[in-house]
Amino acid sequence: MLTALGSGFRALGRNWGLVVLVLLANLGFALLLAVPLSLQLEGDLANRSASSGMMYDFDYDWWAAWSERQRGPSSALAPDVLGTGFAFRNLELLLTGWLPAGLFARGDRASLDPTILGLGTLYLLLQVFLTGGLLGVFRAPQGGWTVRGLVHGSGFYFGRILRVSLLALAAAGVVFAANAPFARWVDGLAREAVSEKTAIALALGRHALLLLALVLVHMVSSYAKVLVVCEERLSALLAFLSSLGFCARNFLAALGQYVVVLALGVALLFLFGALDARLAVVGWKSQIVALVLSQLFVAARVALRLGLLASQVELQQARGR
Amino acid sequence: MGPRTAGLLLAGLAGVVLASTGAPAAAPRHVAPPLPPVAGKDAPGLPPLPEVSPRNASYTIEARLDPEKRTIAGSLVLEWRNTSEQALSTFPFHLYWNAFRNNLSTTARGAGHRAPGDREREDRTFGWIQVKTVRLVGGAEGGGTIQDLTPTVRYLNEDGNADDRTVMAVRTSRPVAPGETARFRIEWDSLVPHGSIGRAGWVHDYHFVAQWFPKIGVFWKGAWNCHPFYPWTEFFSDYGVYDVKLTLPKGFVVGATGRLESKADNPDGTETFRFVQEDVHDFAWTASRRFLERRSRFDEPGYPPVDVRLLLQPEHAHLAERYLEATRIALRTYGTWSAPYPYPQVTVVDPAWGSSSGGMEYPTLFTGGASVFAPPELQSPEGVTIHEAGHQFWQGLVASNEAEEAWLDEGFTTYMEAKASDHSLGPAGWGRRYFGGAGRGGRAGWPVVAPGVAIPRGSESLVDLREGGESDAMAKRAWTYRDEGSYSLNSYAKPALVMQTLEGLLGEETMVKVLRTYSRRFRFAHPTTEDLIATVNEVSGQDWRWFFEETFFSADLCDYAVEVRSDPARTPAGWLEGEGGRLELKAPERKGRRGDGNRFESRVTVVRHGEVLLPVEVRVDFADGRTVTERWDGRDRWTRFRYEGAKVVHAIVDPRRRIAIDVDPSNNEWTSDERPARRAATKWAGRYLFWLQNLLELHTVVG
């Protein structure tokens, strides 16, 4: 497993441009909403003393009144985007079924504007599209890629990869559906707990179990995509089933890859939090530093995802036959 | 770029960030400014401080708890003195626990947290109190029966709900004359409800027992005041001496109103605790085998010493000192700003998980509320502790009618809680809890604090006010508000902001004198809003009724805003008087060349968006360093100030932020400097961008 991880990340390292490409796509999507927000904020803050407050710190009174008037994507701007809060907020959105497109949400309190949900769905589609091409690059032992080749490969495998993704979505739906009564049962136990510590353990535990289940679904679907590309499978369903078998036979290794990548991700988050806490963002210089820092974080995150994919190719090629 | 290069780049960036900023990772610790000297018993210029209450409703109670059956068997002797000028023969009593008897009570028919729907209701959440006998007895010990009043028991339903059993009345054959004392002996049984809904109840072996005995109403302003238990109202009762014996199985740690006089083992394996407290109007108690006990002593110059007893859940042991320090803050600040806490002890109860008993006050005992994960920035349990301890000074010591004028207690306490927290702890941070699942209110889940975000005093109340401030006039009888949210807003947030505004307009020194005068004059005396207004007028030497008309007695909102326009001063053009008085035509200057660049015509417009009329100050700053302060009575929809000369660079209405009740302080200030707006916009759009980028990436987990 570690060998596959190392090989995978080395393969990614040889093709680091893929990280840049995905990062640019990610940035481009996000800018679609961030730029209008910036223009709106500039207008709303113009000639207001809150502009100084927001430049140096966070003007709670201004933000509270402003956010009450917001409808649409701008309503998502809140203090919980600061520090490491963004990660918890996003994870909660995932675990309450809001990703993608609110498909699995059950009227939970956390919610997102439909525009943001729509953008996320489009981004997911783009990543599904690119997966075939990415796997094609990682499959080739010498590495190297061109944009044209990547797009060609992505297009070639898109249909099958999309079907695998739809199967994964269906599996995720089953997970969320099964989770609902389980969560109610665990929450009932938590309410009846004698000690708050027991209740906390139960609540956090059931969220962790849900996350684990989603990770397992991702693992199976990801290996299914690997099989589609590496073994030229024509049937998405059969690839999915084969992937189930592969993951069962190599469960510890396959799961271990995720454990390592998630651990690296958590470490990255803490590092970001530590650096972010020491960065006073005020003027243009510090904003540029903050932007670079944030993009490095996203790039690292993308690298972890692509590195995992590459290492899954390595593991499949080493143990798949 | 290989992994090594990427790693070096990251490390280099980290070094740049760490070297380029001296920003500390943590905010500096708040230092509380000094308080004014506490006003002692005979402070000059203030009313004398009563030491003893009227003691016209004194209870001697004996009760036995059966924790297995969840029942209480009780008996009491009530010594009730007729302090009115009327002879009375009808006597109403509260039987609060009958609100939980079934789904037909007035409480159950309402809405809010005390009235869950049938689908959410479990059998164990029902409870009741059943009076077995009521007798009029004679003698100092209440021994001989003068009259069996049990046959006269009837239930009162002022709201027309014949199924409600929360008020019973008995009738004596001989009226009780003014000044005479009647002694009632009452025996009752009760079933303790599960504590997940109402404030009283059991959860596992934790028992919180409040509003649990038949309690006589208050004869007030010429009539009995004894309302049914409405869905969200609170309480009103007279002062007396409470002498209470509680018998429970051994092994319970017991806390109660008053001091522990004795504790005795009984042959049947039970223990009897005797608690006594003079000059209180209620008695509550709690028992649990799991309580940890911590003690502290508040003993500071100028204040009477107070023993603080904390009963804590084991999982909150690490929060003990925070609970105790918050209690000390309340005793110190409230004691300075009103009058010192007169009782020798106070008990603080950390409620059990799953219990709704938290965040509530009783004489010399109150409940807090905490979570295992409690970042100090979120000021929990400090906030609720300071609040509930604060009630000792209002509900506990002046005892206004909480059912009819809830703001006099909750509003005062919320106002002073914000003042005390701001003084002693500094502004609270902003945080959210995630992955909570089960749990009451906002305490469940993993807390994440947003770095660098501080919530100014009163800001959270403004959010509530903007949302629902126009639903109801503030001053209404508590059960007549539109819903529980309106009750909460108009009892807590809005009156707190009104009091904060009054403080701003009067000045803090005068406000403290108002609070001290009011709390001393009306100690033990059931004051009303009119008493408060009269006190404000007396202390300030002015008639402030207009202020209360605008705020207490209305549902209007207050919002003043400022707009500024500065144009280059015009160069005279057109037919002008020249030499010798002849008219000469001077052509207007071409566009873009008006004025001499240093002279401007400025208009500062102050607009009243809300309906509340308050006088305001407006401060205008000019580019040449000059400052002008204008005053406006705030009555018209707008007013305008014109200036010629240097450009206006800054204008602010209410510069001293005295009008806390202005629902949108963000439109109070205008600046000519447009540079911060763009930088602030890109800064926060950058944060938003980062959050969104991560959210987009997270989509790849699913599918």
pLDDT in tens, B535-559: 999 999 999 999 999 999 999 999 9
Q: pLDDT (tens digit, 9 = 90+) per residue, B55-111?
A: 999 999 999 999 999 999 999 999 999 999 999 999 999 999 999 999 999 999 987
Distance from CA of A284 to the nearest CA of B (A): 7
> How far apart are the two ends of chain A, measured CA to CA in Å?
16
Which residue intervals of A141-235 are DSSP H helices?
147-191, 196-230
Quickly count: other Cβ atoms within 10 Å of residue A8's Cβ. 23
Same domain, B432 and B527: yes
In one-letter notation, the amino acid at residue B270 is T
Closest by alpha carbon to B324, among B307, B339, B341, B305? B307
Which residue of chain B is at minimal alpha-carbon distance from A192? B354
Within a domain: B353: no
Amino acid B611: pLDDT: 96
**How many residues comprise chain A?**
321
Are B696 and A30 within 8 A, CB to CB? Answer: yes
Is residue B26 very low, low, confident or very high in pLDDT (cuts 50, 70, 90)?
low
Q: Please state, in angstroms and rounded to a whole number, the distance separating the CA atoms of residues A224 and A222.
A: 5
| Nearest by CB: A294 against B372, B670, B690 | B690
User: Where is average pLDDT lowest: A171-175, B122-126, B666-670?
Assistant: B122-126
Within a domain: B626: yes
- Residue B368, both tokens: 């807090």
**Domain end point (choices B531, B550, B569):** B550
- Residue B498, both tokens: 């009104």
Are A287 and B679 within 8 A, CB to CB? Answer: yes
Asked casually if ipTM beats, i.e. exceeds, 0.85, the reply is yes
CB neighbour list of residue A146: distance below 8 Å, 6 or more residues apart = none
Closest by alpha carbon to B14, among A276, A13, A82? A276
Is residue B20 very low, low, confident or very high in pLDDT (cuts 50, 70, 90)?
very low
Same domain, B541 and B600: no
Q: What angle do CA B457, B459, B462 make, to 5 degrees?
A: 135
Burial class (CB in 10 A: 0-12, 13-18, 19+), A110: middle
Which residue of chain B is at minimal alpha-carbon distance from A304? B697
Quickly count: other Cβ atoms within 10 Å of residue B512's Cβ. 19
Mean pLDDT score across all residues of chain B: 92
Amino acid B117: pLDDT: 74
Q: Please state, in angstroms and rounded to a whole number, the distance separating the CA atoms of residues B498 and B660.
A: 7
Are A55 and B314 within 8 A, CB to CB? Answer: no
Same domain, B535 and B567: no
Q: Please state, in angstroms and rounded to a whole number, the distance separating the CA atoms of residues B460 and B438.
A: 25
Residue B590's region, left for phi above 0, alpha for psi from -120 to 50, else beta, is beta
State residue B257 phi and psi, 5-degree precision.
-60, 140
CB neighbour list of residue B569: distance below 8 Å, 6 or more residues apart = B594, B595, B596, B599, B600, B601, B644
Q: What angle do CA B335, B494, A79 make, to 5 degrees?
A: 95
Are B18 and A192 within 8 A, CB to CB? Answer: no
β-partners of residue B669 are B652
3-state secondary structure of A248: helix
A positions 164-183 inside 8 Å of B (CB): 165-166, 168-169, 172, 183
Q: pLDDT (tens digit, 9 = 90+) per residue, A239-294?
A: 999 999 999 999 999 999 999 999 999 999 999 999 988 888 888 899 999 999 99
- Residue B663, both tokens: 């629902």
Q: Please state, in angstroms and rounded to a whole number, the distance separating the CA atoms of residues B503 and B506.
A: 5
| Nearest by CB: A277 against B2, B10, B25 | B25
Flag whether pLDDT at A195 surpasses 70.
yes
Flag whether pLDDT at B2 surpasses 90.
no
Alpha carbon of residue B218 to chain centroid:
24
Same domain, B531 and B468: yes
CB neighbour list of residue B395: distance below 8 Å, 6 or more residues apart = B234, B361, B402, B409, B413
B positions 403-432 inside 8 Å of A (CB): 430, 432
Amino acid B41: pLDDT: 83
Q: What angle do CA B324, B327, B329 make, to 5 degrees?
A: 110
Is residue B8 very low, low, confident or very high in pLDDT (cuts 50, 70, 90)?
low
> B219, B225 in Cβ contact below 8 A?
yes
**Where do we find the tokens 């760490």?**
B18
Query: Which chain A residues contact residue B670 at CB under 8 A?
Result: 47-49
A positions 196-225 inside 8 Å of B (CB): 196-197, 199-200, 202-204, 206-207, 214-215, 217-218, 221
What residues make up the domain containing B434? Answer: 419-550
B693 touches chain A (CB under 8 A): yes
B689 touches chain A (CB under 8 A): yes
Closest by alpha carbon to B486, among B357, B360, B494, A64? B494
Q: Please state, in angstroms and rounded to a whole number, the distance separating the CA atoms of residues B537 and B489.
A: 26
Q: Please state, in angstroms and rounded to a whole number, the distance separating the CA atoms of residues B293 and B350.
A: 10
Burial class (CB in 10 A: 0-12, 13-18, 19+), B107: buried
- Residue B393, both tokens: 């000074």
Flag whether pLDDT at B593 surpasses 70.
no
Amino acid B9: pLDDT: 58
Is residue B116 very low, low, confident or very high in pLDDT (cuts 50, 70, 90)?
confident
**Where do we find the tokens 């903050």?**
A290
The pTM for the full model equals 0.92
Same domain, B482 and B593: no
The pLDDT of A125-134, averaged and rounded, is 96
State residue B176 phi and psi, 5-degree precision.
-90, 120
Same domain, B430 and B543: yes
The pLDDT of B621-638, averaged and rounded, is 96
**How many residues comprise chain B?**
703
Amino acid B12: pLDDT: 59
A59 touches chain B (CB under 8 A): yes
Closest by alpha carbon to B460, among B424, B421, B503? B421
Same domain, B439 and B470: yes
Same domain, B539 and B519: yes
Question: What is the number of structural domains in chain B?
Answer: 2
- Residue B440, both tokens: 């009451």
**Domain end point (choices B658, B674, B690):** B658
Which residue of chain A is at minimal alpha-carbon distance from B440? A191
Q: Please state, in angstroms and rounded to a whole number, the distance separating the CA atoms of residues B57 and B390.
A: 24
Quickly count: other Cβ atoms within 10 Å of residue B8's Cβ. 12
State residue B220 phi and psi, 5-degree precision.
-145, 130
| Nearest by CB: B692 against A30, A95, A183 | A30
**Domain end point (choices B550, B568, B584):** B550
Amino acid B441: pLDDT: 45
Within a domain: B483: yes
Same domain, B519 and B436: yes
Query: Which chain A residues contact residue B697 at CB under 8 A?
Result: 26, 298, 301-302, 305
Q: Please state, in angstroms and rounded to a whole number, the distance separating the CA atoms of residues B511 and B504.
A: 9
Amino acid B316: pLDDT: 97
Number of H helices, E strands in chain A: 11, 0
Flag whether pLDDT at B356 surpasses 90.
yes
Within a domain: B598: yes
Same domain, B565 and B596: yes
Mean pLDDT score across all residues of chain A: 93
Are A207 and B687 within 8 A, CB to CB? Answer: no
Within a domain: B298: no
| Nearest by CB: A199 against B10, B439, B702 | B439
One-character DSSP codes across B112-158: STTS--GGG--GGG--EEEEEEEEEEETTTT-EEEEE-GGG-EE--T
The pLDDT of B601-605, averaged and rounded, is 96
B48 touches chain A (CB under 8 A): no
Flag whether pLDDT at B7 surpasses 70.
no
A81 touches chain B (CB under 8 A): yes
Is residue B24 very low, low, confident or very high in pLDDT (cuts 50, 70, 90)?
very low
Is residue B444 very low, low, confident or very high in pLDDT (cuts 50, 70, 90)?
confident
Flag whether pLDDT at B442 surpasses 70.
no
3-state secondary structure of B402: coil
Residue B369's region, left for phi above 0, alpha for psi from -120 to 50, else beta, is left
Within a domain: B394: no
Q: pLDDT (tens digit, 9 = 90+) per residue, A41-91?
A: 999 999 999 999 999 989 999 999 999 999 999 999 999 999 899 999 999
Are B701 and A31 within 8 A, CB to CB? Answer: no
Same domain, B600 and B646: yes
- How far are the Cα atoms of B187, B418, B571 from residue B192, in angstroms, in the given order? 16, 35, 85
Quickly count: other Cβ atoms within 10 Å of residue A40's Cβ. 18
β-partners of residue B254 are B287
Closest by alpha carbon to B399, among B23, B54, B6? B54
One-character DSSP codes across B550-595: HHTT----B-EEEEEEEEEPPPP-EEEE-GGG-EEEEPPPPTT--S
Query: Which chain A residues contact residue B456 at CB under 8 A?
Result: 60-61
Element (H, E) at B308: strand B306-312
The pLDDT of A126-138, averaged and rounded, is 95
Amino acid B115: pLDDT: 76
The pLDDT of B248-266, averaged and rounded, is 97
Q: Please state, in angstroms and rounded to a whole number, the distance separating the CA atoms of residues B544 and B548.
A: 7
Q: Please state, in angstroms and rounded to a whole number, the distance separating the CA atoms of residues B442 and B464.
A: 16
> B413, B391 in Cβ contact below 8 A?
yes
Within a domain: B464: yes
Query: Which chain B residues contact residue A45 at CB under 8 A?
Result: 676-677, 680-681
Amino acid A231: pLDDT: 92
Q: At what angle do helices B382-391 and B412-424 cross, to 10 degrees?
A: 130
User: Where is average pLDDT lowest: A182-186, B16-20, B256-260?
Assistant: B16-20
Mutation site, B652, B692, B698, interface A, largest A CB count within 10 A? B692
Are B677 and A46 within 8 A, CB to CB? Answer: yes
B19 touches chain A (CB under 8 A): no
Are B683 and A281 within 8 A, CB to CB? Answer: yes
Flag whether pLDDT at B25 surpasses 80.
no
CB neighbour list of residue A23: distance below 8 Å, 6 or more residues apart = A295, A298, A299, A302
Q: Please state, in angstroms and rounded to a whole number, the distance separating the CA atoms of residues B180 and B84.
A: 10
B674 touches chain A (CB under 8 A): yes
Q: Please state, in angstroms and rounded to a whole number, the distance separating the CA atoms of residues B445 and A206.
A: 12
Same domain, B544 and B566: no
Q: Please state, in angstroms and rounded to a whole number, the distance separating the CA atoms of residues B480 and B483.
A: 8
